[in-house]
Amino acid sequence: MSLPEVVTVLLAGIAAGTMNAVVGSGTLISFPVLLAIGLPPVTANISNTIGLVPGSVGGAWGYRRELTGQRRRVLVLGTASLLGGLTGGILLLVLPPEVFEVVVPVLVCLALVLIVSQPRINRVVLSRRERRGRLGRPSSITLPAAGSLSTGVYGGYFGASQGILLIGILGVLVPDELHRLNALKNVLVGLVNGTAALLFAVLWVAGDAPVAWGAAALLAVGSLTGGLLGGRYGRLLPPAFLRGLIVVIGLFAVVQLVAG
């Protein structure tokens, strides 16, 4: 890579790490940059997944205070995310890219609808649970786990807007404050990306997965920096502003995915 390309990839990593920590969809910045420097699509996708893992770790660390009291959620949903990430990574290597091209914009649009509707839906859900006296029943974690598994499969396969889709699902199925859900989202996305990245690294050793390690390393440094920045300052955003920002970036993601 030339010096301008090195700088561009590094800056893309910072931007993607920051965006992923705050709202998600950072892949829509870093993945096109890797394509622009000449990497083949599959190589760019795999290298991007590996490079963004440190950013997820940084974002989760920055939101660590908001993770207090969410141990059970992390264990249950994290297990589902691990399985989903592994499945998605395998699918990336055995299925053609066209498989998800039709459904991805639909899933992102659904996530945006959930984000906008979250406050009202949560009020209705909490009201019904209080009337029926079923707050905190074990069954309440089943649907979020299914959502984590599904988004994990998608995230392991490609990952663009994985965070937006996941936080949209969590916002409806897990009654809690948006910043706490965002912290949980950062952990789950990190587990998905980390699982897929580990799979790709093992397969690269076996010669079955193409990885551009130079680009991945630059993204890793940048995304870690961006993740720490996003995790530190993201909680300062008012929930309403954060929700609006998610919608704007999500709409941009839909346009990019459809155009692509």
Per-residue pLDDT, averaged over 196-200, amounts to 91
Lowest mean pLDDT among 108-112, 120-124, 241-245: 120-124
| Backbone φ, ψ for residue 177 (5° rounding) | -70, 145
Q: Is the pTM of this model over 0.75?
A: yes
Please give the Cα distance from 118 to 171 (Å, whole number): 6
pLDDT band at 74 (very low <50, low <70, confident <90, very high): very high
State the SS3 of 91-144.
Answer: HHHHCCCHHHHCHHHHHHHHHHHHHHHHHHHHHHHHHHHHHHCCCCCHHHHHHH
Q: Would you say residue 139 has pLDDT above 70?
A: no
Is the predicted pLDDT of residue 133 greater than 70, yes or no? no
Range from 35-39, 174-178, 226-230 carrying the lowest mean pLDDT: 174-178
Number of domains in the chain: 1
29 or 73: which leads in pLDDT: 73
176-194 confidence digits (pLDDT tens): 887 788 889 889 998 998 9
Residue 219, pLDDT above cutoff 90: yes
Domain range for 172: 3-259
Considering only residues 238 and 198, tell me which one the structure prediction assigns the higher pLDDT.
198
What does the alpha-carbon distance between residue 182 and residue 20 come to, in Å, rounded to a whole number?
10
Please work out, in degrees rounded to the nearest 5, the angle formed at the alpha carbon of residue 225 by the alpha carbons of 219 and 231: 120
End-to-end, the C-alpha distance of the chain in Å comes to 25
- Mean pLDDT in residue range 63-73: 88
Looking at per-residue pLDDT, the higher value among 127 and 190 belongs to 190
Q: Which of 133-147, 179-193, 199-213 has the lowest mean pLDDT?
A: 133-147
- In the predicted model, what is the mean pLDDT of residues 127-156? 73
Mean pLDDT, range 29-44, rounded to an integer: 86
pLDDT of residue 229: 87
CA angle 50, 21, 162 (to 5 degrees): 65
Among 106-120, 184-198, 214-228, the range scoring the smallest mean pLDDT is 106-120
Which of these, 241, 217, 219, 190, lies nearest to 67 by C-alpha position?
Answer: 190
The pLDDT of residue 175 is above 60 = yes
Looking at the chain, the whole-number percentage of residues with pLDDT higher than 70 is 86
Residue 151 has pLDDT above 80, yes or no: yes
Q: Give the distance from CA 167 to its chain's centroid.
A: 9
Q: Is the pLDDT of residue 138 over 60?
A: no
d(CA 69, CA 171): 17
Q: Does residue 123 carry a pLDDT above 80?
A: no
Give 216 or 98, the one with higher predicted confidence.
216
Q: Which of 49, 55, 72, 92 is nearest to 192 (CA)?
A: 49
